Amino acid sequence: MHSFDFSFLKLGVFDVLDVLLVAFIVYQLYNLIRGTIAANIFIGFMTIYLLYMVVDALHMKLLTGILKRFADVGIIAIIIVFQQEVRRFLLLVGKNASLQRNKAWWKYFFGKAEDEKNNYARIKPIIDACKSMKQTRTGALIVFAKYYDEQFYQNSCEVLDAKISKRVLESIFQKNSPLHDGAVVIAENKIKSASCILPVTEKADLPAQFGLRHRAGIGVTEANDASAIIVSEETGEISYAKQGRIKMDISFAELEKLLNKDF
């Protein structure tokens, strides 16, 4: 009678750790692309790879040979198909590994109160500008970039390097202003640029009323370590995008909390 060889099922501690780490990375990757078309492609890749592992373990030579061809080019295909996601993933890894974290701990113990006070002073002009633009139904898109990638933002933008103030933000988004079309990018505590054309998200499951402004607000946070405030011209509603997701119709108290964390 034919006997199966199950020796490959012997597990050591490192095998378990290996599986857990891979599961964690796959889950994080899936989280990054959830809700996008890329998620379906990702599931497709994973299915083919899992199938390859199973047929390989069962020594089914022909199928293993065919699937191996897919698996071999898989990593290159992933980099090409998921260019934006890979970029965002590496940014995330880089950010968490940087000294920024240690600085945050240091501030947590020694300078938190002072920090919050300073942060409120920084945030206030932005919140005030949003309040006023909400009232006047002035459409706006303000991006907060943790890292100002000149190549990414400056290509299509008008470079400003201006101090953040309520009146400057309001004037930029005024309907008659030559700079009102597009987004303002804030980084390093400055209004770095205005009138920026940003990549729009390809997400298919967004509310029907979302036009290009909202889509660009979400799109920029998919590809970069950035968050974005969107003021709707139609409804005056304030939305907040981060990591490719959007919170709609938020209050100013909520906006303050979010900015305190992200800006």
H or E element in which residue 247 lies: strand 245-247
Q: How far is the CB of 156 from ligand ATP (least distance, A)?
A: 8
Taking the alpha carbons at both ends of the chain, their separation in whole angstroms is 68
Which of 56, 233 has the CB closer to ligand ATP? 233
Q: How far is the CB of 69 from ligand ATP (least distance, A)?
A: 39
CA 28 to each of CA 15, 19, 32, 88, 239: distance values in angstroms, whole numbers, following the listed order: 20, 14, 6, 11, 25
The one segment of 45-53, 63-71, 111-119, 194-202 that binds ligand ATP by CB under 6 A: 194-202
DSSP 201: P
| Cα–Cα distance for residue pair 187/148, rounded to 1 Å | 6
61, 95, 212, 245: which one contacts ligand ATP (CB under 6 A)? 212
Q: Tell me the number of residues near ligand ATP by CB under 6 A.
A: 17
Q: How far is the CB of 220 from ligand ATP (least distance, A)?
A: 8
Burial classification of residue 152, based on how many CB atoms lie within 10 Å of its CB (0-12 exposed, 13-18 middle, 19 or more buried): buried
Token couple for 197: 């054309």
123, 186, 216, 229: which one contacts ligand ATP (CB under 6 A)? 216
Which stretches of 164-235 are assigned E, i.e. beta strand?
183-187, 190-196, 226-231
The interface with ligand ATP within residues 121-160 (CB under 6 A) comprises: 139, 141
Do 199 and 167 meet the contact criterion of CB atoms below 8 Å apart? no
Which of 7, 251 has the CB closer to ligand ATP? 251
The one segment of 19-27, 41-49, 111-119, 211-219 that binds ligand ATP by CB under 6 A: 211-219
For ligand ATP, the binding residues (CB under 6 A) are: 139, 141, 181-183, 197-198, 200, 210-214, 216, 232-234
